[in-house]
Amino acid sequence: MLEWLLSPIDPARGHELSMAVAWHARLMVLSWGILAPAVVVIARYFKVMPGQDWPRELDNQTWWRSHWMGHTLVVGLSIGALALVLPTDFSALTLHQRLGYAMLFGVLVQVGLGVCRGSKGGPGTGESLRGDHYDMTPWRCRFEVLHKSLGYGLIGLGTVTIVLGLWNVNGPIWMWLALLIWWGILLVTCVVLQKRGMAIDTYQAIWGTDPAHPGNTRAAPGWGVRRMNEGDSDVRRDRGDRVRSTRSGV
Q: What is the CATH number of the domain that holds 41?
A: 1.20.120
In a domain, 83, yes or no: yes
pLDDT tens column, 207-223: 999 999 999 988 777 78
Task: Give the domain range for residue 46.
Answer: 17-197
In a domain, 243, yes or no: no
Taking the model in full, what pTM does it have? 0.85
Closest Cα partner for 207 from 50, 57, 65, 51? 57
- Give the confidence band of 30 by pLDDT, cuts at 50, 70, 90: very high
In a domain, 245, yes or no: no
**Omega prior to 55 cis, within 30 of 0:** yes
Question: For the range 197-203, what are the long-range contacts, defined as Cβ-Cβ under 8 Å and sequence gap of 24 or more?
Answer: 197/226, 198/45, 198/46, 198/48, 198/226, 199/44, 199/45, 199/224, 199/225, 199/226, 200/47, 200/48, 200/54, 200/225, 200/226, 200/227, 201/47, 201/225, 201/226, 201/227, 202/47, 203/133, 203/136
Is the pLDDT score of 126 beyond 70? Answer: no
pLDDT tens column, 224-234: 899 887 555 45
Report the share of the chain in percent with pLDDT over 90.
Answer: 72
So what's the pLDDT on residue 233?
A: 45
Contacts of 20 (CB under 8 A, 6+ apart): 84, 85
Is the pLDDT score of 128 beyond 80? Answer: no
In a domain, 224, yes or no: no
Torsion over CA: 45, 46, 49, 54 (sign): negative
Is the pLDDT score of 15 beyond 90? Answer: no
Indicate the number of domains in the chain: 1
Mean pLDDT computed over every residue of the chain: 88
In a domain, 44, yes or no: yes
In a domain, 123, yes or no: yes
